[in-house]
Structure 1
Amino acid sequence: MKHGMPRLSVKKDLVGYRLRDVVGRGAWEGDTRLHLIPHVNCRVADLRVRRIRRGRHQIVDFSLPYGDVLHDYLA
């Protein structure tokens, strides 16, 4: 693989992203509900939720560039 070229990550890398060109369009705070959908690869919906205090909602526009590999688990 050539240095600096993007590569395909298939469940072996921890990848970090830094958002660019972030523009806030709106934000508010208030009462909220949490709806978690079960997924075979991510069992977050099985965790017990004790209490939901408040929610923050944000509407933003941003660019998501290529990620940086933080850790390669197969290396």
Structure 2
Amino acid sequence: MITIIITTITIIAIIIIIIIAILAIIVVIIIAITIIIIIIIIIIITIVIVIIAVIVYQCCHRFLNTITTIVVVDMIVT
């Protein structure tokens, strides 16, 4: 009788430990996926910022070159 009770308690304990382990693994996987998603979002935002910065730089660079050319030509003509 005592053996049956001990065996039952052991089986229940093993099942509980397995369930806790599975839940822990699921939580770790969810945390890992969340971190990966955050890193991907940061990378995408960085790429977008760099692209916008390059476009703005190109536009400003051309604009400043045009102004410089106009001023230099104006100074030469005058």
TM-score normalised by L of structure 2: 0.15
- Structure of greater relative contact order (alpha carbons < 8 Å, 6+ residues apart): 1
TM-score normalised by L of structure 1: 0.15
Higher helix fraction (1 or 2): 2
